[in-house]
A and B are shown apart, each in its own frame.
Chain A
Amino acid sequence: MARVKAEQQPNTGRTLIVLVGLGIAFLLLMAFLNVVKGGNLLNEANLLYAALIFYAGGAALYLGFGVTGTESYVKFASLATWMGLIACTGAVAHRWVEAGHPPFASVYEMLLSFVWTLAALTLVAEKKYGVKVIGTVTMPVAIVGVVLMQLLRTEVHPLVPALQSTWLHVHVTLAMLAYAACALSFALAMMFLIQDKMMTETFLAVTSASTLAIYAGIVFTRFEKWGGLNVIAWDAEQKSEVFLSRGVRLFVTIPDLGWLMALATLVVAVPLSSYLISRRAKIVWYARSLPARWSDIYRAVLWIFGLRRKDEVSATEAWIKINPEPQNQESWILVANRAVFVSLLLQVMALAMFLVRTRDGHYGSLDAEGLFATSLVTSPFILSGLVGGIFISLLYLLLLWRRKDLERLLPSTDDLDRITYKTIGIAFPLLTLMIAAGAYWANQTWGSYWSWDPKETWAAITWAVYALYVHARVTRGWRGRKAAYLAIAGFTVVMFTFFGVTYLLPGLHAYA
């Protein structure tokens, strides 16, 4: 059986490589023709475009490797990634020269640095640690980053006085490096869970819950009466958001888009609810066991104060012995998996509609007379949510359809566990230095090294979570799943610090 497979592989292997190569060549040719017309070959937009093409080729090959396990893809995939990285380096250098400062001043420039770091780390992880399949996860993320950059493109902004400091550049560089390492540790922890035979249904529950959270968040905050969707107005001439008064942004309503989002929310909710129905018996069982669990909590409290030993048989364990867990119902899982596929199509549609309708057209507002334009720049949060949702669903489908191959390709659980720890061994000192550099900069600028502003506080929380990971692993010997959960929790906090704090919580870090 294995031999048959081995014989088949070169065939399919060549097809994909040739296809991707042709695609890259075609796109480069088209781009080149455009450039010849424009006359300027090596500007930032072209370099970025080239990076995008190569990253896309690399991602396609990595995905091909992830799905079929054909070894020969990896060589070409990393070649494409190398080319993309070179182009990306060119774009970074160009930006640097043009702006006169390292590219860390705006969301756009930070994405540029982030994408660069991510591609570099992917190559390191692949060459040094032999985690070849990592590109399957990181390269699509890099593509999303480059695409977001195309949408968020802004010209070079001069730096306000507070931002003109070497320490700022040190701070942001360290932050990007640390966050990229955190992203890598997250991907590795996920792979660990896959390799550790965590049930596909659990991934189903988690992924569909995350997408549901994204859509529910959008609908909850932006749905307007009669099916509109509220977005912030954009003044194309001033290149800024429209303000009603100081600090109050003007929202315009895109008609009907709200209905689409609501519909998407409903469909995205289907996989989770089918999953819950399939678990109905188990939920009832769990609810019944709650009294036993309360006594467990009581025991845990006693244990914290050192009053009782933990290894006594808990009430829950006793309860479980008498009432074994019921079997789950397979047919509902089947429904859930199909629903994920359908929801993916609808999500793509929602994204497409969102892109089309925000880029063109003028819309009315409830708060002001007249029609206003909007722009993707004003809704980076919604945009990353929509793209992220699609990405999460895609990853789940990849896992669902190709789990066996993935398990064959991934390193052993022990290896993954150790590499995760090593990645965090890189991320944690970087996080520490990042916070220190930020504090030093703040001290130079505002005369105080720590002012408990939300971004600072959340950076400290991130640090604390990774400190927990290190302690749990080193001194308590937590390996495997518990450690992987902590690594995942750490990255969730990183994402919140990076995106959530900027958009949800107010503070000094308004520049980023």
Chain B
Amino acid sequence: MAVDFGAVARKTWQTLASIKTGVVLLILVVIFSAAGTIVLQRPITEPDEMQNAYSPQAIRFLDAVGLTDVFHAWWFLGLMLLVSCSIIAASIDRFPNSWRYFSRPYKYPDESFRRVLHPQKQVAIADEEGGLVAAERALHSLGFKPERVVRADHFAIFAERHRISEMAVYIVHASLLLIFFGAIVDGIWGWRGTLQLNEGETTATVDLRNGTTRVLPFAIRCDEAGQENYKDGTPKKWWSKLAVVQNGQDVENKEIVVNDPLLYGGVRFYQSSFGTNGKVEKLVMEASPTAGSGEKRQIAFALNETAALDAGTTVRFAEFIPDYAVRDGQVYRRSNQLGSPAVHLVVTSMSSGRSFDVWLPASVGAGENAQAPYQFDPKDLRMGHFTGLQVSHEPGQWAVWSGVVLLGLGLAFVFYVVHARFWVVPIRDARTAKHSLWIGGSANRNRDAFGQRFNDLVALVETELKSIPMTSPREKVASVAGR
């Protein structure tokens, strides 16, 4: 038995293009995405939290059906693709009809059309030409551009506005597809990650969301980062001065803040956090000789730097502990946050060849502070900062944003731009031989407001008719006699 592929294909196409299918698919998307907001999602939940919330069997089941990561599951993507296909099919299915309607406007209303059209009205006129001129003037004053339709045996006036409104729904659907397309491109070729940079540091490696790293074709350096606070201490602004380094040269510099990223080579760098990195940028101290009344002097240095105190004595910044604790005579580092800091200096005297361990504050205890030739008084401690950056590459963005703009325009057309049409046909009654003007109108939406516009037009035609001089004396006589 031969399978009729043509029939099957036609049937599939019809099913796909039907509004019924679209509605069912849309409902499915709604149900599954709602489920995705109620069931905890793996990408945004800690594994512990997941285990606390559900029993092991439940987790196994949810993982198996993909409900713990709905929005990245293959079947959800498939569903979105089906929605796209349904939109495409529905649009293609209906497009030829609309296009015919759009490209070949219906200009001369035939008798059957005239019989059913609403609203319509007949106005008595003296002669055809005068009536048509009056109608043209009325349409002109309403802002239309009427055209005369001349056929072999009849003629009429046709005027319309905003024919594009008939195509608006296709603009909306096309823009949705454009947005989906952009999102899919981003899903496949885009990536997101984070980057932590200390001030002065340069790197080209980004930690991606999925745990891997990515090396950029250029490097990024943070020159400076900072934070501004409100009076009550809550952060007001984070900023970082970034430089893009390519082949050893700075190619771009920008100070970024939250909401204002740096874009280079299709990669965006967003300010996302800021903090101290537990490293000293500069330590400022005052040193005074232990013996005698020597001069006090200010020294400033960073970790592992050495400064000269006098001709025969140097001091090295040996160690910095941002948050110290002493236990059993030993100094421990409690954390990397700046809490109670301790500084370890080594003072070396060339003349005696001796070195002294100096600890600040002295209460740390392990040092030989008193024996050292100099005493130190810390004045200022400037900590190094890190800046936290979000990094993303979204090659489909242009499609998404142009889709959004198009969608807004399309919806404005769909809801607010009316395709209004007017026809004016002069009619001669075969029995009474009297002339009248048949006026009809149609709008594709907002029909009650259009009814008002139609009435305005009829009233205008009637006033124009009164002001138009009669075209020929014979007609004038006829009309006077008619009265």
Contact = CB atoms under 8 A, between A and B. Distances in A.
B259 A450 contact: no
Interface string A419-450: 00000011011001100100111011111111
Interface of A: 158-162, 164-165, 304-306, 418, 425-426, 428-429, 432-433, 436, 439-441, 443-450, 452-454, 457-458, 460-461, 464-465, 467-468, 471-472, 475-476, 501, 505
Contacts of B14: 306
A164 B258 contact: yes
B390 A450 contact: no
A432 B270 contact: no
Given A164-B258, A457-B37, A436 B11 contact: no
A425 B415 contact: yes
B192 A158 contact: no
A426 B268 CA distance: 35
A471 B270 contact: no
A446 B408 contact: no
A305 B37 CA distance: 29
Interface stretch (B23-31, B96-104, B122-130, B464-472): B23-31
Interface string B114-139: 00000000000000000000000000
B20 interface: yes
B197 interface: no
Contact of B235 (A160, A306, A418): A160
Contact of A448 (B15, B192, B404): B192
29 contacts: A161-B235, A161-B236, A161-B237, A161-B238, A161-B257, A161-B258, A161-B259, A162-B258, A304-B20, A305-B15, A306-B14, A428-B411, A429-B408, A432-B407, A439-B404, A440-B404, A444-B259, A446-B390, A448-B392, A449-B394, A449-B400, A450-B183, A453-B44, A454-B37, A457-B71, A461-B30, A461-B34, A468-B23, A471-B19
Contact of B23 (A447, A472, A505): A472
Interface of B: 11, 14-15, 18-24, 26-27, 29-30, 33-34, 36-38, 41, 44, 71, 183, 192, 230, 232, 234-238, 257-261, 268, 270-272, 390-392, 394, 397, 400-401, 404, 407-408, 411-412, 415-416, 448
B411 A432 contact: yes
Contact of B236 (A158, A464, A468, A472): A158
A423 to B, nearest CB: 11
Contacts of B400: 439, 449
Contacts of B235: 160-161
Contacts of A471: 19, 22-23
Contacts of A305: 15
A36 to B, nearest CB: 32
Given A436-B408, A475-B19, A304 B258 contact: no
B268 A160 contact: no
Contacts of B232: 158
Contact of B270 (A418, A436, A447, A468): A447
B234 A158 contact: yes
A468 B26 contact: yes
A436 B394 CA distance: 17
Contacts of A439: 400, 404
Contacts of A441: 259
Given A158-B234, A505-B38, A457 B411 contact: no
Contacts of B390: 446-447
Nearest to A429: B411
A472 to B, nearest CB: 7
Contacts of B29: 464
Contacts of B71: 452, 457
A476 B15 CA distance: 16
A158 B230 contact: yes
A477 to B, nearest CB: 11
A27 B234 CA distance: 40
Contacts of B24: 304
A443 B238 CA distance: 17
B272 A457 contact: no
A405 B268 CA distance: 62
Q: Kindly list the 3 A-B residue pairs having the minimum CB-CB distance in the complex, ordered from nearest.
A: A447-B392, A161-B258, A454-B37
Contacts of A426: 415
A457 B44 CA distance: 14
Contacts of B397: 443, 449
- Greatest chain B CB density within 10 A among A165, A449, A472 is at A449
A505 B259 contact: no
A164 B259 contact: yes
Contacts of A429: 408, 411-412, 415
B261 A447 contact: yes
Given A449-B394, A457-B37, 17 more contacts: A158-B234, A159-B236, A161-B271, A304-B21, A306-B11, A418-B448, A432-B411, A440-B401, A444-B259, A444-B270, A445-B270, A447-B192, A447-B390, A449-B400, A452-B36, A461-B34, A472-B23
B20 to A, nearest CB: 7
Contacts of B18: 306
Contacts of B192: 447-448
A446 B272 contact: yes
A447 B391 contact: yes
Contacts of A450: 183
Contacts of B238: 161
A162 B19 contact: no
A454 B38 CA distance: 8
B26 A464 contact: yes
A429 B413 CA distance: 10
B268 A447 contact: yes
B114 to A, nearest CB: 25
Nearest to B231: A158
Given A429-B415, A465-B30, A160 B234 contact: yes
A468 B400 CA distance: 22
Given A418-B448, A447-B268, A505 B404 contact: no
